[in-house]
Structure 1
Amino acid sequence: MELTVRGLTKSFGRRLVLDSLDLDFGKGVTGLLGRNGAGKTTLLRTLATTLAPDGGQVCALGLDPADRAQRTELRRRLGYLPQNPGFYPHFTVFELVEYVAILKELTDRRDRHREVRRVLAEVELADRAKTKVRKLSGGMRQRLALAQSLLGDPDLLILDEPTVGLDPEQRMRFRALVSRLGESRTVLLSTHQTEDVAALCERVVVMKGGRSVFEGTPGELAGAARGQVWLSDRAPDAARLFWRTADGRYRALGDRPPGGVPAEPGVEDGYLLLLDEPVEVTA
């Protein structure tokens, strides 16, 4: 495995955020799902070496980030897009990415500029190279953050909510880029978009209360809801979760409602049932 986690724990004050977590990640794209506060961002920050755990072990690309020298080497080989990336608004797009490239020890100016142009082209910002960061839209800033994470062609790519602010076309292009990257390296991404997981990820991990409550393929997660997804003409009285669909029928999760007919489950169905959150969702 390219990345292993054993007994990982982390607390903030009295709040236990990661609870003796064990996980394995190989090459390909793995999606991390979970409601807010499940521990996803804390896990990704730990794997990206920006946060030290309270206990447990991480081995990434054969390196131990608890060792200072190995942690430095790991940082050279990983790319990280944090949940809330910081920007210098008065820099141009090119200047900002070049600044990060310098921090990543790309010392040769000609090679560095070539690499900056490459990653800007990857995220379709080449034509914005001279634009000030403050003038970019939210979606463009998110793509700029993604460009920084791609510097140096990392072996391990860690992306926290990478599709926030992207329009449907940008989201599609992001999926194409990440799926290609996942052919030759380990990509781990956190998202609230179950459709991204279904379309992009080979594996999915669902976190709840600092633990992993599911590991498998998106198909297996959807399959976990088989026999518990229904369509009916009337709003169910006892369903744990239901919503009105575009055709006027109700999609219900849980026990069969009166007049309900079976529906093909999706990733979102399996995810919601797994968390078993007692809320009503209407549209």
Structure 2
Amino acid sequence: MKPTLTVKSLKIGFVSGFSPPMLDFDVGVGVHHLKGPNGVGKTTLLRTLCGELQPLAGNITVCGLDPTSDYRARRHVAYLPASPEAPEFLTVDELWQNLAAIRGAPHWSGGALRERLGLASTLLLGQASSGQRRRAEFLAMLAGDPEVLLLDEVFTHLDAEFSTIVAELIENRRTSRLVLITSHQQLP
């Protein structure tokens, strides 16, 4: 399936609070950077694009499917939140294996990628440093090799070495995946 993301007359936000202007865009394969200050709606946009939040108005299609109403769309999109959300009782391998199975790719192997990210398979997320946890959630986000990657502040908590590795892994997907990165600063 061709990685695409189309937004038409999209209104996001919360009924009782801040809502950015209406959005219209169409993006395809490549790495796209959405930069802006804190509080302008970048995280809300990503959470809406992956189907976690319902839009106030408008339409979204991911690989031709609506993530707000068609659960199949969620197999094609992966979201890396800015803050850790994975259960602390899981190990690194349990996290990516569960997500690969959910995405319909139970035989996806993340072992080599886990090693490249400097993670032990049996490391409990609850005992991981913030950098290790970030790398584990990045690995899990790649589980099943989804076509659309939504990365919220992807380099948060990463040291220089692993920022470089993550940047390379993102760059390697430039010609085959749609990657949307949000940040409030320049990317490495």
Aligned partners of 1:52, 1:188: CA distance in 2, in Å? 19
Q: Spell out the pairing of 1:162-201 with structure 2 (5 A cutoff).
A: 162-194=154-186, 196=187
> How far apart, CA to CA, are the structure 2 residues paired with 1:88 and 1:102?
16
| Aligned mate of 2:111, from 111, 117, 140 | 117
What value does the CA root-mean-square deviation take over the aligned residues?
1.9
Per-residue deviation, 1:119: 4.1
Deviation of the 1:52 alpha carbon: 0.8
Does the C-alpha gap of structure 1 residues 118 and 51 become closer, same or farther in structure 2, counting only changes over 3 Å?
farther
TM-superposed CA distance for 1:14, in Å, is 3.2
- Identical amino acids, percent of aligned pairs: 35
1:161-195 Cα distance to aligned partner (Å, 9 max, x none) = 1100001111111111101112211000111231x
Is contact 2:81–2:151 with CA below 8 Å preserved after alignment?
yes
SS in 2 for 1:23: strand
CA distance in 1, matches of 2:71, 2:117: 27
SS at 1:17 equivalent = coil
Matched positions, count: 186
The code of the aligned residue for 1:90 comes to: F
User: Whose radius of gyration is greater, 1 or 2?
Assistant: 1
Matches within 5 A, 1:1-283: 2-66=4-68, 68=69, 71-107=70-106, 111-112=107-108, 115-125=109-119, 128-194=120-186, 196=187
Aligned structure 1 segments of 4 or more residues deviating by more than 6 angstroms:
none
Q: Give me the whole-angstrom Cα distance separating, in 2, the residues matched to 1:11 and 1:31.
A: 20
**TM-score if structure 2 supplies the norm length?**
0.89
Tell me how far 1:51 sits from its aligned partner: 0.8
Q: What SS does the aligned partner of 1:145 have?
A: helix
Shift of 1:48: 0.8
3-state SS of paired residue (1:75):
helix
More strand by share: 1
TM-score by length of 1: 0.61
Whole-angstrom distance in 2 between the partners of 1:167 and 1:35: 22
Q: Does structure 2 retain, via aligned residues, the 8 Å contact 1:17–1:42?
A: no
**5+ long unaligned stretches in structure 1:** 200-283
- Judge conservation of contact 1:79–1:157 (CA < 8 Å) in 2: yes
| 1:247 aligned residue | none
Cα distance change, pair 78–121 in 1 and its aligned pair in 2 (3 A): farther
CA distance in 2, matches of 1:80, 1:118: 21
Q: 1:121 to 1:46 in 2, by over 3 A?
A: same
